[in-house]
């Protein structure tokens, strides 16, 4: 179930290389789980821009997005007080696994934002998440301190070794013990590597280019053990065991 409504920008601030934090004031009642996304209409562009939700409360939505094209470049220029036409309540979101006690929460690049509210909810459920964040270089790193402020143990990796552990998130995973589940969001090669590097079960959030964002166009389908699923509708969260790589 989704809703279309008008939201007011409260803040739009650059927090890392080409990465911006934006707050949107309006109705958040259709957001029910971490890992869901919104779909933003931009004047002059045919398709909406799907952006994952970083956090939300009764009054506003927090999103973090990266400038990768003309649409997100337009977003980066927007000011507080401007209005946006947005669809909310999209995607299935993560499900908290109450059978576990020591989950890994793994974000890659702009796959990091939806992991923030998830970490908050895991802590509220009495679990102790370990957070691993993967970026290209030091200039790309964001939200490390925010996760630490929640009380999480946080590991940061960079491909070039300019900050944290040199390499990929899997280079941290192979040296960790005691975790019993994982949640992750990021580029597909990272998701596949994590799936192969872990023996436990987990949930993976897929990043995909979308047409409609609510299951109408079938443009973002992927193959699973139970047939094709739409990333925007049945996803973006998939169970490790159901994915056909």
Instruction: State pTM to two decimals.
Output: 0.91
In tens digits, what is the pLDDT along the chain, a chain of 245 residues?
779 999 999 999 999 999 999 999 999 999 999 999 999 999 999 888 999 999 999 999 999 999 999 999 999 999 999 999 999 999 889 999 999 999 999 999 999 999 999 999 999 999 999 999 999 999 999 999 999 999 999 999 999 999 999 999 999 999 999 999 999 999 989 999 999 999 999 999 976 554 444 445 445 456 565 555 555 555 578 888 888 77
Distance in angstroms (rounded) separating the CA atoms of residues 89 and 213: 10
Domains of the chain: which residue ranges?
A: 3-90
CA trace torsion 7, 8, 10, 11 (10° rounding): 80
Which CATH superfamily hosts domain 3-90? Translation factors (2.40.30.10)
Please tell me the number of Cα atoms within 13 Å of 115 on its side-chain side.
Answer: 33
3 state SS for 43-101: CCCCCCEEEEEEEECCCEEEEEEECCCHHHHHHHCCCCCCEEEEEEEECCCCCCCCCCC
């Amino acid at each position: 179930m989704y809703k279309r409504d008008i939201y007011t920008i409260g803040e739009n601030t650059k927090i890392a290389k080409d990465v911006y934090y934006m707050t949107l004031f309006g109705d958040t009642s259709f957001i029910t789980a971490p890992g869901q996304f919104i779909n933003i209409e931009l004047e002059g562009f045919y398709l909406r821009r799907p952006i994952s939700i970083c956090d939300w409360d009764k009054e506003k939505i927090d999103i973090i997005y990266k400038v990768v094209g003309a649409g997100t470049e337009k977003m980066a220029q927007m000011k507080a007080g401007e209005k946006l036409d947005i669809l909310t309540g999209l995607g299935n979101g993560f499900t908290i696994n109450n059978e576990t006690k020591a989950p890994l929460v793994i974000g890659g690049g702009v796959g990091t934002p939806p992991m923030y509210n998830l970490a908050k909810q895991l802590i509220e459920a009495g679990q102790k998440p370990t957070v691993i964040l993967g970026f290209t270089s030091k200039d790309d790193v964001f939200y490390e301190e925010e996760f630490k402020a929640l009380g999480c143990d946080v590991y940061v990796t960079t491909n070039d070794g300019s900050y944290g552990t040199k390499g990929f998130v899997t280079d941290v995973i192979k040296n960790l013990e005691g975790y019993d589940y994982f949640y992750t969001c990021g580029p597909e090669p990272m998701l596949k590597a994590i799936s192969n590097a872990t023996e436990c079960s987990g949930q993976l959030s897929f990043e995909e280019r979308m047409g409609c964002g609510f299951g109408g166009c079938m443009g973002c389908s992927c193959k699973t053990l139970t047939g094709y699923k739409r990333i925007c509708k049945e996803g973006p969260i998939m169970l490790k065991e159901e994915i056909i790589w």
